[in-house]
Amino acid sequence: MKTNPVVYALLVISFYVSGCTHKLAPQGHYQDTPVVADGNTNDWSVPLRFSNEKYTFQYNITNDSKFIYICILSTDDATQLRILKNGMTIYFDPKGKKNKDISIAFPLLKTDDENSYNRKRNRNGNPIKPSDETVLINKLTQQVSYFETKGFLNIENGQFGIADTRSHIKVAIKYNNDSVLVYEAIIPINIITGSDLTEKQAAKNFSVCVTLNAVLGQEGDNGNSSRPSFGGGMRGGMMGGGMHMGGGMRGGGGRNSNSQRTQGSKEEDTWYQFRLADKKG
């Protein structure tokens, strides 16, 4: 039996379209109440929804029609020190892939002088006691005062003070009395996509990546850490729990001063692909 040429053509087109259809990621959570970036978890339900692959920090990402809200928390000593000393970067890909063209680095890599306290103890051969580690984490947290931007629309690449309103980005990090390090960021959607959230944008995949910067050499070494490269110009204009993406509930972010030591650690990426939540959805 011969196939009708018109039917055959329709079948070919149908097969081609279905084969090229982009798989939609799960819809994210709509934030009904705006978050305040103050380093507290009052605006979040803990344990947070997800964790990194090693379960040393938890995170959640939500949005409303104007902003993307991010919260990251950790009770793991080594992870806290890695974040505070070597820095952390959040990447945004509005196309739902794994491009790193748009980012905010916060905290920033510490300088030699800022790391001198920890290096001196290590070089003297004295082990860091838990009480000393707490003092160090508190000290490093208090030193956090700047963040760096790259690739956002209508914002210069470079450093901003955490109280600087020119970028419209709000960030905070705090070491709380219960030994939990809490990071919060509020990012306007329009500096990523060019406008507040639209139905068309909500129908497309979006990706966010939490990156712990690489650490080279022994913990406490000076200057042997890598950080993202930022240039000038404009872009085109733990309390247990935590779900690992692709896994189930586990005890994430637990305190363990001997786990995940930063000696020779590579850059660690944790990608989350989702769709920005439309309140109508």
Query: HSE on the CB side for 132, CA within 13 Å?
Result: 10
Tell me the pTM.
0.76
Collapsing DSSP to helix, strand or coil, 212 comes out as strand
Q: How far apart are CA 231 and CA 157, in angstroms?
A: 6
- The answer to whether the beta carbons of residues 247 and 50 sit under 8 Å apart is no
Q: What pLDDT digit, counting tens, does each position of 80-106 carry?
A: 999 999 999 999 999 999 999 999 999
Q: How far apart are CA 133 and CA 53, in angstroms?
A: 24
Q: What pLDDT digit, counting tens, does each position of 94-140 carry?
A: 999 999 999 999 999 987 555 554 554 555 666 555 568 889 999 99
Q: What pLDDT digit, counting tens, does each position of 188-230 carry?
A: 999 999 999 999 999 999 999 999 999 876 544 444 444 444 4
The secondary structure of 42-88 as a DSSP string is TTS-SS-SEE-TTSS-EEEEEE-SSEEEEEEEE--HHHHHHHHHH-E
Residue 63 in this model has a pLDDT that exceeds 80:
yes
- The answer to whether the beta carbons of residues 70 and 203 sit under 8 Å apart is no
